[in-house]
Amino acid sequence: MKTRAGAGGVVMAVVWTVACGARAPGVCGDDYEATVADFDCLLALPEVKGVRVLNRCGAQPAAEAILRDGAQGARFPVGTILQVIPTEAMVKRGPGYDPANHDWEYVMLGGNPVGSRITDRGRAEVHNPVGSCLECHAGARDYDFICAGGHGCDALPLPHTALEALQRMDARCLPP
Ligand code: HEC
């Protein structure tokens, strides 16, 4: 009986991994390189202070707590994906990815439907029409580059309510 349950667990883990295109919790190792399948419908993801937060490496409670507490100096665990709009994300990579800038990878998602393709990813060179992601987010360097909460970034041209409206339009949330 025990063996069967164990095998069932393994099967479930494999099914979950294949179905979600993601790694099972806790198996990321030292780094986490997201694929497009790791970015889900935003409305289905946990939300803290208006930011969607998902940790793909088994550290979901820690990631949520850092966002909730907003403490100066705290660093997000590897495998954390943060988003406010469907087309842009920050992904916490392993130590060494960009040590001077806390190892964040900035990701742009596009394609048709929106979110079906990674169109750009990297460090300071990644930008949206307003500017370089990293350069603007560096205003919040002491808060692990998290702008939400008035941490010192230049403002976006859209109020947070408009960003929430964009979340509700996320094409990945529509039934197939
Ligand atoms: C001009 C400054 C600026 C630029 C450029 C910018 N952002 Fe932001 N970003 C912000 C601000 C301000 C917020 C907080 C918005 C809010 O909560 O209302 C934010 C929020 C976010 C968040 C939620 C976590 C957080 O830091 O609050 C993510 C993820 C994010 N931006 C990713 C990106 C990516 C990826 C790019 C580049 C493609 C980018 N941003 C470019 C200013 C900027």
167 C-alpha to ligand 1 centroid (Å): 14
120 C-alpha to ligand 1 centroid (Å): 15
67 C-alpha to ligand 1 centroid (Å): 14
Using 70 as the pLDDT threshold, list the residues of the chain that sit under it.
Answer: 1-27
Q: Which atom of ligand 1 is nearest to the CA of 158?
A: 18
The verdict on whether omega for the bond into residue 46 sits within 30 degrees of 0, i.e. cis, is no
Q: How far apart are CA 142 and CA 119, in angstroms?
A: 29
Residue having the nearest C-alpha atom to atom 37 of ligand 1: 133
> Which among 153, 156, 160 is positioned nearest to 84, based on CA atoms?
160
136 C-alpha to ligand 1 centroid (Å): 8
- The secondary structure of residue 121, as a DSSP letter, is E
Number of domains in the chain: 1
Q: Which atom of ligand 1 is nearest to the CA of 132?
A: 5
Mutating to test ligand 1, I would choose from 87, 137, 144 the residue with most ligand atoms within 8 A of its C-beta, which is 137
176 C-alpha to ligand 1 centroid (Å): 29
Task: Give residue 92's pLDDT.
Answer: 98
Q: How far apart are CA 106 and CA 57, in angstroms?
A: 18
**Residue 145 structural domain:** 2-173
| pTM listed for this prediction | 0.88
92 C-alpha to ligand 1 centroid (Å): 14
Task: Give residue 121's pLDDT.
Answer: 98
Q: Which atom of ligand 1 is nearest to the CA of 160?
A: 18
Residue having the nearest C-alpha atom to atom 29 of ligand 1: 83
Q: How far apart are CA 36 and CA 17, in angstroms?
A: 14
